[in-house]
Amino acid sequence: MWQLCRSPTISKQLAAPGNGHNKVPLHGNSFVWAFVYKIRLQGRTMDLIKEINDKYMALEAEIDQKLEKVQAEELKLERQNEQLAETAICAPAAKVLSYEGALLRNTNTLKALEIAKARLRSRSTYSPVEKLLQQALHNYRKELESLQDAEDDRQGQEKPKDTEEEAEEEENLYDLVMQNVIEAKRQQTDL
């Protein structure tokens, strides 16, 4: 069965047997119609219609109040957006600094740059990967020197090598190891 509201009185009245239904306007100028079963109980039909109409008007008033609140919030939001747009369009004029103010600003900027540069240096100098690579390079040099000394002892004085060739080979080896260190450092910074 179709119910207009959850009122126990109306539910009982609507549950009463009837011969069809009537269309009854609920509010003076509104186009809302309610289907009401014919009720033949001592003039209760008018009371039922009045009760439905009162509940409808109360709901309509509540919706109107909520709509007014929403419209007020929308107006407030529009005003805030307009104010933000005005402040964004009208950028504040640049401050004119005095000579002393400019010197102070430049000094502070230079200090900040020096601090940043020192931090970058300390990070690159004392990075763990670079430290390990430096230690590996040092160990490699020691091992190379010990191998060269052992080879020189074996050969004795049979074939003395040119000191220039040795220095050039050592320098080439050093350059090769440094290139490996630089590549490893780049790979570390890329990660």
Judged by DSSP in three states, 79 sits in helix
Burial class (CB in 10 A: 0-12, 13-18, 19+), 143: exposed
d(CA 17, CA 38): 8
Q: Which of 51, 66, 81 is the last residue of a domain?
A: 66
What is the mean pLDDT of the segment spanning 4-18?
47
Determine the structural domain holding residue 34 and report its residue range. 8-66
pLDDT tens string 79-121: 998 888 887 776 656 677 788 888 888 888 888 888 888 777 7
What is the mean pLDDT of the segment spanning 172-182?
82
Closest residue by Cα to residue 48 from 94, 89, 79, 12: 12
Q: Which of 66, 81, 108 is the last residue of a domain?
A: 66
Q: CA 70: distance to chain centroid?
A: 29
pLDDT tens string 17-56: 454 444 444 444 343 344 444 444 445 667 778 888 899 9
Query: Do 178 and 134 form a contact (C-beta atoms < 8 A)?
Result: no
What is the bridge-based pairing of β-strands 33-37 and 21-25?
antiparallel
pLDDT at 182 over 70: yes
* Strand (E) or helix (H) holding 22: strand 21-25
pTM summary value:
0.27
Amino acid 30: pLDDT = 41
Please give the tally of structural domains in the chain. 2
The percent of residues above 70 in pLDDT, for the chain, comes to 64
Q: Which of 42, 66, 90 is the last residue of a domain?
A: 66
